[in-house]
Amino acid sequence: MAQRDWVEWHRDYDDPGSPLSRRGKLVQGHLRAELERAPAGDIRLISLCAGQGRDVIGVLTEHPRRDDVRARLVELNERNVALARQAAQTAGLHGVEVLQADAGITDACTGAVPAQIVVACGIFGNITDSDIQATVAALPSLCAPGALVLWTRHRSAPDLTPAIRSWFGEAGFREEAFDTSPDGFMSVGAHRLTGEPAALIPGQRLFTFVART
């Protein structure tokens, strides 16, 4: 089975009518609001499977808190890593690190967590249900107290989002928002850690992308 071209996939961000573009606007809205409500001082952010960094870099470029953010964007695809690094450099975002690594292994998070903001977008539609549940259960190990996790998932049948939202609750998170795109296809969740953070387990495999065309 041929692998998806993840560089080509990002082109839909440039189409205002695409599901990806609409999803991006929802994610960026939550990210922007969280930066605005964050207390003074450094804000630590980690983005898993960050691609070209469009969700995060697109917000930070014009945000007044941009210089307070210490972000790690984790991405495996070499070309997307290069494009994300170029975008961060062009925007003058010196606090943004783009790490080429497998975000499905906790080692990619070492030194960047606990984070106040965890972005896990574009993941849950590309991994197995059991990996989603395991990843949600492990998210407290990436979080500072009161951290916000942003995640996405399509709502194609069978719609797994009710189960995902339940798993977040079981892992010690409170749902702050669950937004669906106007066409009903794409959803964005925002969950706040109200339970206790957990210790990061080195070398833990959280998820593996499922091959698809």
**Structure confidence by residue, pLDDT tens digits, 140-152:** 999 999 999 999 9
Query: Does residue 75 contact residue 51 with C-beta atoms inside 8 Å?
Result: yes
Residue type, 88: A
Query: Strand, helix or coil at 156?
Result: coil
Phi/psi of residue 209, each to 5°?
A: -65, 140
C-alpha pair distances (Å), 75 with each of 108, 170, 184:
9, 28, 28
Number of Cβ atoms within 10 Å of the Cβ of 44: 19
pTM of the model: 0.93
Please name each of the domains of the chain with its CATH number.
Answer: 6-193 (3.40.50.150)
Q: Beta strand pairing status for 69-75 and 43-48?
A: parallel
Reported as a pLDDT band with limits 50, 70 and 90, residue 19 is low
- Which pLDDT band holds residue 2 (cuts at 50, 70, 90)? very low
Residue 1: the pLDDT is 37
pLDDT at site 151 = 98
Q: What are phi and psi of 144, to 5 degrees?
A: -80, 165
CA distance 91 to 62: 9
In the predicted model, is pLDDT for residue 15 greater than 60?
A: no
pLDDT above 50: residue 210: yes
How many Å separate Cα 213 from the centre of its chain?
Answer: 22
Q: Tens digits of per-residue pLDDT, 81-108?
A: 999 999 999 999 999 999 999 999 999 9
162: pLDDT strictly greater than 90: yes
Statement: residue 28 has pLDDT above 80 = yes
